[in-house]
């Protein structure tokens, strides 16, 4: 019997791989019709009971074919996640369906302006809804009242926005995108008021922190935290108090009939805020887009483990763009870490790196892979 030819065997494998890819593509095309049928029937995109029955049937088929049933189940869980993400993307891209976007703040806030810039011009339109807090905006997504939320996560002057990190740790949301918005803070007051007349300045704590030089130059001004920047501007307009001011955008000044006492009062030039777009499930990364992945992990209890994790990521040629720590409230004086890494979580180097570091963690989760904006 002739020896098998390795090149021809590899050609046969490649042909089978092409068939597999074609079949996955065909499955996703059918999923688009499933999405339309579910919309018509007002059915949820995810049916856990049906998924469990499907996996049970696939495990039986795997055993009959002499395959590892656990590995087949793992493979199909990925395929089902792809299918749900594709259904949601199909609905989002329908020209007749508006995208429902939640954000923290009121009209004229920086989150509102960032959402306007990001979603303006979408064929089906966008419905932007402001909420009193970051948690309320996130809850709108988890409850199904919104498709996405746009949440600030870090600022070049004031640093990280911890509440957003803590919301991501809760586990219900996935990061599907990011946007960086240049921030110009303005000091707003009633028309005709000079800065010498002012005594109290309202704004979101992050905005106050980003304008600390203003308070150093004008010690007669007292900072007072408010829920959001544009909301502070609205309260100044409603109070009709000449000693009261707000730090907000020039758009908020126009919206609430205030005057801009001073432009560009942020302490650092190039002040910018990074926002993350969050949804219930991951979204596909467009072809050709540079991918970034956010990962959450908690350290195993052994010396030097964080350095070892970073070394293993570097060994796979993966670049970190951010590393952040947050306390774990239920375990005092322990911390979870958030890392932003350039690359797609489904790529071979990234997948291998996650397997490398898994034994060094007590909790390891991918929060999302999305197109990188920075």
Q: Is 275 a catalytic residue?
A: yes
Among candidate residues 90, 164, 176, 273, the one labeled active-site is 273
Q: Which residues, 6 or more positions from 295, have their beta carbon under 8 angstroms from its beta carbon? A: 338, 339, 340, 341, 345, 354, 364, 365, 366, 367
Closest CA to 232 of 134, 103, 105: 105
273 is catalytic: yes
Residue 33 φ/ψ, nearest 5 degrees: -70, -35
> What single-letter DSSP state applies at residue 204?
-
Is residue 138 within 8 A of residue 298, CB to CB? The reply is no
Q: Which of 275, 297, 337, 350 is catalytic?
A: 275
Q: ∠318-320-324 over CA atoms, to 5°?
A: 145
Structure tokens at 338: 């958030």
Measure the CA–CA gap between 48 and 45, rounded to whole angstroms.
Answer: 10
Q: How are strands ordered across the β-sheet holding 361-371?
A: 320-327, 335-342, 291-299, 361-371
CA nearest 150: which of 165, 133, 137, 168?
137
How far is 206 from 302, CA to CA, in rounded Å? 35
Torsional class of 370: left (φ above 0), alpha (ψ -120 to 50), beta (otherwise): beta
Active site amino acids: 273, 275
């Amino acid at each position: 019997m002739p020896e098998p030819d390795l090149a021809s065997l590899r050609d046969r494998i490649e042909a089978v791989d092409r068939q597999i890819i074609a079949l996955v593509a065909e499955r996703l095309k059918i999923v688009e019709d499933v999405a339309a049928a579910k919309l018509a029937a007002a059915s949820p995109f995810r049916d856990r009971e049906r998924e469990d029955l499907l996996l049970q049937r696939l495990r039986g088929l795997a055993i009959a074919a002499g395959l590892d049933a656990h590995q087949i189940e793992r493979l199909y869980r990925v395929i089902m996640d792809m299918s749900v993400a594709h259904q949601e993307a199909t609905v989002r891209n329908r020209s007749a369906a508006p995208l429902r976007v939640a954000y923290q703040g009121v009209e004229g806030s920086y989150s509102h302006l960032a959402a306007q810039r990001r979603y303006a011009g979408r064929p089906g339109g966008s419905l932007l809804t402001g909420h009193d807090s970051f948690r309320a905006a996130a809850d709108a997504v988890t409850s199904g009242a919104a498709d996405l939320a746009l949440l600030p996560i870090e600022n070049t002057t004031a640093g990280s926005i911890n509440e957003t990190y803590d919301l991501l740790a809760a586990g219900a949301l996935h990061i599907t995108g990011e946007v960086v918005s240049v921030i110009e803070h303005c000091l707003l007051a009633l028309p005709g008021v000079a800065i010498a007349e002012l005594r109290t300045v309202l704004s979101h704590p992050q905005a106050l922190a980003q304008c600390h030089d203003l308070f150093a130059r004008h010690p007669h001004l007292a900072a007072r935290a408010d829920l959001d920047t544009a909301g502070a501007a609205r309260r100044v307009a409603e109070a009709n108090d000449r000693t009261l001011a707000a730090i907000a955008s020039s758009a908020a000044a126009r919206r609430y009939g205030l005057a801009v006492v001073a432009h560009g009062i942020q302490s650092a030039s190039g002040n910018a805020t990074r926002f993350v777009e969050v949804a219930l499930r991951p979204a596909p990364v467009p072809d050709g887009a540079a991918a970034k992945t956010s990962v959450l992990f908690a350290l195993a209890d052994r010396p030097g483990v964080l350095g070892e994790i970073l070394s293993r990521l570097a060994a796979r040629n993966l670049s970190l763009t951010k590393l952040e720590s947050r306390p774990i409230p239920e375990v005092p004086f322990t911390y979870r870490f958030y890392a932003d890494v350039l690359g797609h979580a489904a790529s071979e180097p990234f997948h291998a790196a996650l397997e490398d570091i898994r034994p060094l963690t007590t909790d390891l989760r991918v929060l999302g892979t999305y197109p990188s904006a920075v």
